[in-house]
A and B are shown apart, each in its own frame.
Chain A
Amino acid sequence: MFGDYAALIVLLPVLAFVLTLFLGKKLYSGGALLPIAAIAGSFIISFGTFLEIYPDKTIQQSLSWFAGMNIGILIDPLAVVMLMMVSFVSLLIHIYAVGYMAHDPAKPRYFAETSLFTAAMLGVILSDNILQFFIAWELVGLCSYLLIGFWYHKPSAAAAAKKAFLVTRVGDVLFLAGIVLLYFNMSEVVSSRAFSLEPGSFILQFKSMFAAIPHIPPGQLTLITLLFFGGAVGKSGQFPLHGWLPDAMEGPTTVSALIHAATMVTAGVYLVARTFPMFVAAPNSLLVVAYIGGFTALFAATMGLVMNDIKRVLAYSTVSQLGYMMLGLGAAGMAIGAGAVGISMFHLISHAFFKALMFLCAGSVIHAVGTNDIREMGGLFGKMKITAITMIIAALALAGIGIPLVNFGIPFSIGTSGFFSKDAIIEGAFAYGEQTGDLIPYVFAILAALLTSIYIFRLWFMTFTGTPRSERHAHESPNVMTRPLIILAVFALFFGYTQSGFYGYVDKNFELMGVEMAVHEGEAVPPSIIIVFMPVIVGVLGFLISYYIYYQRKLDVSKFITSENPVYKLLINRYYEPKLASDIIGVKLTHNVVAQSGEFVDRKIIDGLIIDNIIGRTAFKLGEVMRRLQTGVVQNYAAVIILGIGLLVILLMLGGV
């Protein structure tokens, strides 16, 4: 029953977008209730659908669109868990925003845009074909542009919005190139009759794509998947297209929460997961995914260490965690095949909960103290108990704190959601290392876990403990803001216990679509105890380091934080990425060199020299000269006539007489 109305999952928020945009001004709280109701509807339908299709059904609906393309809905395990997570988290964020945005005059626009943002993300999730996926994907990018630039009168916000759109656009173009290449190969396959489309299915549908995998040349497949991954790199802020994500903090904090937890950045991971059978068939691509993911996880964590803007720390944390998810897909994919999707998606969802929680907590703090700079905070624990407690829960989840009791024969482990999800990825990376001897991804993952733990507790200690470093009178946020925090905290704490059920459900995903994936042969060797404990050990170690430095203040770090320290300079300047992207590539190279020289050629050479001067002026000059031949003296005219006769003689002689 719910499944029949699956289209409403997207259409309700779209409707809310339209209504809120045009009518919001006249409604309560800028029309916030419309999107909330719509997204609640989406969540209910998603959940209902989940109950309907669990454990082994899928929903497919498809309509012909244009030129052999279609629009359709595919709800399989992978999609439905995402749908539930996105609609749920988004719902909470919307509710929270009623409080957070209470004083902003442009509320209708805000709620309309976030509603569209959610709709676009839901559209990405339930697409049954790559074109629709791309379209929704682009709309996600559009909404991020609109929301990051929500306070468009701030130059930095306008710049950040543009950067976000352009940098992800680089990825999008790669993605589009992948689609072009895919379409080409699919058409070749179909026209060579090696493979025929099922009746009623379309060329860019996922099921057709997966069915055609064996017929596509491996080289092409690698290229296609790499291009797809290029899109994911842009959207999910992987190195080297990560720069937009920290800048995106210019938007309202709730927007950041949406982007980082529910709606935008996970789309990249979802893309790789969605097309995972193709990646599995192209192991070289998986390797690239693993390396980029692992490197990003570490790379972003290093920058998270030194940032002072509370949201920026969280932003780098997101980049880093997305790196984990990519690492999970890549490394675990090579090690255990299809199971990697479950591992990675599980982390995605648990990350969504605790990262949303973190951002909302940060929002609560910012709302209270009116600054983003953690150096100006401190000692807020007493004033904002709910925020502080939920935040420490989120931090524990992020750091992956827990006790892997299961290895001691006890049927369950104790731990936060992050503990379950992140450890699985790290173990996956280790499994890959063990099989191939390539331990580099694993090393990346472990080091990143250590740094993660350090920076998140640094953040917590600096914010909530110690003496207040500013004179603002902070107070706890209203209920409409704290309730979502509590709900999210519950999920951050306990979501991890669904692990085995989740794996079992999501792992079946591609089987349900009839895709046979080359699963790696051989029994997975149970990892040694030290490997199992390693993530927890580094997590706790990180906590202790932070505790030592930022709580007990035994070590004065200020002497490292100087502009003379090259490492610090490198980190605080974010590896000079903004300078490189905006100044050098954007302004200097593209605008000043290429575009301006084009302008020069156009105006001065093509137009100025050839059209104006050579053709235009010459005619004028010639006219001025030639009119002087007309002296006005009639004898000269006669002379010219006589000369003309001479000319005629010459011409006729030349003519051959």
Chain B
Amino acid sequence: MAGFISLMILIPLIGAIITFLTRTREQARAVAFLTSGISLVISLVLFMRFDSSSSQVQFQELYPWISSLGINLKFGLDGIGMPLVLLSTIVIPLTIIFAWGETKQANQFYGLILLELVGVLGVFTSLDFFVFYIFWEIVLIPMYFLISIWGGPRKDYAAIKFFIYTHVASLVMLLAIFSLFFNAWQLTGTPSFDMFTLLKNYQVIDSPLLKDAIFLALLFGFIVKMPAVPFHTWLPDAHVEAPTAGSVILAALLLKMGGYGLFRVILPLLPYSGSPGYLVTLMAIIGVVSILYGTFLALAQRDLKKMVAYSSISHMGYVTLGAAALIPLSVSGAMYQQFSHGLITCVLFMSCGVIQHGAGTRIIGDLGGIAKHMPKLAFLMLAGFLASLGLPGMSGFIAEFLILINSYFTLPTFVILALFGIVFTAGYHLWAMQRAVFGTYNEKLGHIHDIATYEMVSMAILVLLVIYFGLNPNPVLNMMTTNAKQLVEFVSLKGVIT
């Protein structure tokens, strides 16, 4: 399987270049769909061949790059990365299908979407911190354009806010990477940006203060991306202004990078940090506050899309909570939450997009009864909303259930607080449905069209996937659990948790 990962990243990159050069939108979307489809096939092959009983890195590839700084192009997959790679390669082709009707500068549009795929795949597969950081940054640029060219009325503000906010976080993270690199260099005598080497050598740093500083800098880098309260304010703005495809990618993939960082980087460092006890509590607080804050803010929104944006904050809070609990299954539940939220949120944002497109507004109060003219949309949207509120039988439930029952072992108070939010989660979802979709039809909207076929296809596939992974989480969950066990075992050996 050697070379498959780089192929998987390279093909969309080439596809993006070709897409930029195409003249018609038909060509552009065909190339985009084809290349992302090839990536999907490759990732499916990798997924099938993946040995989920092993926590080791599989399909590893290594190409030397900047040897004077010990930087290599090192790629590989394990149970943390593989599901997210699968998610990325599923979401992007479906997004392209969903956006099949894009007319404005179509070649650029599809090209940028492919570039996003390149970026996130790079992030999820790189095992070299330098390369990881490069992909981490590259992801920002296409998203900036997606928002600022195809966005809503305040797109400039939103795009630049998104860019600068998350860029600051990345730079802070970079500082921590510097320190890790320096430390490992001093210790081993050879420079290396190998992720595992850097993480391993973290433990020999003398100063607890420095350890905590590095830890917090990395944590900051990741939770801004997730995003967690109080560093979340870029998200609602970005989502409200972004085009639907942009929102979908932003919520389904970009936010997952933050969570990925938690598992890949934060948890292995945790036991050796200066004051692990406080840091765990800090993470738990961030998680629970995000859950509740996101929920209540979602309740206050008038714009459907903004509500969905806040719901993302709330759902990503579970990831932080599950990670902080440091129980094998809570950690793998948190990983599963990432995967599941990636699928569900696509449906939600696509629904918002279809409504915006069909009815011309997303303000909940200005809608009303649109199920009358958009029955198919109403059906798919309801499915998405139910999945989002954690209905059993859909993937979100599995994740949240695992997180809640397992986190109780170590973080009982926080779990109780999180449970408190569930009712309100259901509340804002259903309240929005009631006002926007059900009830008497608001005649001011005029005659509106139902969802287009290509939009319906991609949403339906997503809904089916959500249900499939709600009924049979094992293919993905098992590999996550294997790695989560290894992570937690590692943490517990240090006596952070008993």
**A residues in contact (CB < 8 Å) with B:** 65-68, 131, 134-136, 138-139, 142, 145, 149, 152-155, 157-159, 161-162, 165-166, 169-170, 173, 176-177, 179-181, 183-184, 187, 586, 590-591, 594-596, 598-599, 602, 606-607, 611
B481 in contact (CB, < 8 A)? yes
Q: Please name the 8 residue pairs, one residue from A and one from B, whose CB atoms are nearest each other, closest first.
A: A158-B438, A135-B392, A595-B300, A599-B300, A595-B299, A152-B438, A607-B233, A155-B439
Complex CA–CA separation, A241 to B408 (angstroms): 26
Complex CA–CA separation, A136 to B393 (angstroms): 9
Per-position binary interface string of chain B over residues 363-375, scored 1 when its CB falls under 8 Å from any chain A CB and 0 otherwise: 0000001011000
Give which listed residue, B161, B297, B416, contacts A177 with CB less than 8 A.
Answer: B416
**B residues in contact (CB < 8 Å) with A:** 161, 165, 230, 233, 237, 293, 296-297, 299-301, 329, 332-333, 369, 371-372, 386, 391-393, 397-398, 401-402, 404-405, 408-409, 412, 415-416, 419-420, 422-424, 426-427, 430-431, 433-434, 437-441, 472-474, 477, 481
Complex CA–CA separation, A153 to B438 (angstroms): 6
B427 and A602 contact, CB distance less than 8 A? no
B300 and A596 contact, CB distance less than 8 A? yes
Contacts A134-B392, A142-B391 given; indicate if A159 touches B434 (C-beta within 8 A).
Answer: yes
A183 and B392 contact, CB distance less than 8 A? no
Give which listed residue, B165, B431, B474, contacts A162 with CB less than 8 A.
Answer: B431
A161, A169, A606: which has the most chain B beta carbons within 10 Å? A169
Contacts A153-B371, A166-B430, A607-B233 given; indicate if A180 touches B329 (C-beta within 8 A).
Answer: no
Closest CB in chain A relative to B383 CB, distance in Å: 10
Residues of A within 8 A of B426 (CB): 165-166, 169
A149 and B293 contact, CB distance less than 8 A? no
* Complex A-B: 9 CB contacts under 8 Å: A138-B397, A152-B439, A155-B438, A166-B430, A173-B420, A180-B404, A180-B415, A187-B409, A590-B299
B423 and A67 contact, CB distance less than 8 A? no
Complex CA–CA separation, A411 to B233 (angstroms): 77
The closest CB in chain A to the CB of B435 belongs to A158
Complex CA–CA separation, A173 to B293 (angstroms): 18
Residues of A within 8 A of B474 (CB): 65-66
B392 and A598 contact, CB distance less than 8 A? no
A66 and B473 contact, CB distance less than 8 A? yes
The closest CB in chain B to the CB of A587 belongs to B431
A153 and B441 contact, CB distance less than 8 A? yes
A181 and B408 contact, CB distance less than 8 A? yes
Closest CB in chain B relative to A450 CB, distance in Å: 36
Closest CB in chain A relative to B4 CB, distance in Å: 28
Complex CA–CA separation, A626 to B51 (angstroms): 61
Closest CB in chain A relative to B163 CB, distance in Å: 13
Residues of B within 8 A of A68 (CB): 329
A169 and B422 contact, CB distance less than 8 A? yes
Closest CB in chain A relative to B473 CB, distance in Å: 5
Complex CA–CA separation, A187 to B423 (angstroms): 27
Closest CB in chain B relative to A359 CB, distance in Å: 24
The closest CB in chain A to the CB of B412 belongs to A184
B408 and A184 contact, CB distance less than 8 A? yes
A68, A134, A591, A595: which has the most chain B beta carbons within 10 Å? A595
A169 and B423 contact, CB distance less than 8 A? yes
Contacts A67-B477, A595-B297 given; indicate if A139 touches B419 (C-beta within 8 A).
Answer: no
Complex CA–CA separation, A645 to B150 (angstroms): 51
Closest CB in chain A relative to B87 CB, distance in Å: 18
Give which listed residue, A138, A152, A183, A586, contacts B405 with CB less than 8 A.
Answer: A183
Closest CB in chain B relative to A179 CB, distance in Å: 7
The closest CB in chain A to the CB of B441 belongs to A153
B332, B391, B426: which has the most chain A beta carbons within 10 Å? B426
Complex CA–CA separation, A536 to B93 (angstroms): 70
Residues of A within 8 A of B393 (CB): 135, 138-139
Complex CA–CA separation, A223 to B32 (angstroms): 56
Residues of B within 8 A of A183 (CB): 405, 408
Complex CA–CA separation, A68 to B412 (angstroms): 21
Complex CA–CA separation, A507 to B118 (angstroms): 64
Residues of A within 8 A of B472 (CB): 66
B430 and A162 contact, CB distance less than 8 A? yes
B233 and A606 contact, CB distance less than 8 A? yes
Residues of A within 8 A of B391 (CB): 138-139, 142
Complex CA–CA separation, A149 to B386 (angstroms): 15
Residues of A within 8 A of B440 (CB): 153-155
Complex CA–CA separation, A183 to B300 (angstroms): 34
Residues of B within 8 A of A591 (CB): 299-300
The closest CB in chain A to the CB of B298 belongs to A595
Give which listed residue, A67, A166, A606, contacts B230 with CB less than 8 A.
Answer: A606
Closest CB in chain B relative to A603 CB, distance in Å: 8
Give which listed residue, B332, B333, B422, contacts A173 with CB less than 8 A.
Answer: B422
Complex CA–CA separation, A599 to B299 (angstroms): 9
Closest CB in chain A relative to B479 CB, distance in Å: 12
B297 and A66 contact, CB distance less than 8 A? no
B409 and A184 contact, CB distance less than 8 A? yes
Complex CA–CA separation, A173 to B424 (angstroms): 11
Complex CA–CA separation, A181 to B369 (angstroms): 41
Complex CA–CA separation, A649 to B477 (angstroms): 65
The closest CB in chain A to the CB of B369 belongs to A153
Complex CA–CA separation, A145 to B440 (angstroms): 18
Instruction: Give 10 A-B pairs besides A138-B397, A596-B300, A598-B300 with Cβ atoms closer than 8 angstroms.
Output: A67-B329, A135-B392, A139-B393, A153-B439, A154-B439, A155-B439, A158-B439, A165-B426, A166-B430, A606-B230
Complex CA–CA separation, A181 to B439 (angstroms): 39
B333, B405, B433, B477: which has the most chain A beta carbons within 10 Å? B405
The closest CB in chain A to the CB of B478 belongs to A66
Residues of B within 8 A of A138 (CB): 391-393, 397
Residues of B within 8 A of A136 (CB): 392
A153 and B372 contact, CB distance less than 8 A? yes
Residues of A within 8 A of B477 (CB): 66-67
Complex CA–CA separation, A131 to B230 (angstroms): 34
Complex CA–CA separation, A161 to B293 (angstroms): 26
A67 and B371 contact, CB distance less than 8 A? no
Complex CA–CA separation, A590 to B481 (angstroms): 37
Closest CB in chain B relative to A107 CB, distance in Å: 14
Residues of A within 8 A of B409 (CB): 184, 187
The closest CB in chain B to the CB of A173 belongs to B422
The closest CB in chain A to the CB of B233 belongs to A607
Residues of A within 8 A of B434 (CB): 158-159, 161-162
Residues of A within 8 A of B433 (CB): 158, 162
Complex CA–CA separation, A67 to B439 (angstroms): 41
B430 and A180 contact, CB distance less than 8 A? no
Residues of A within 8 A of B412 (CB): 184
Residues of A within 8 A of B230 (CB): 606
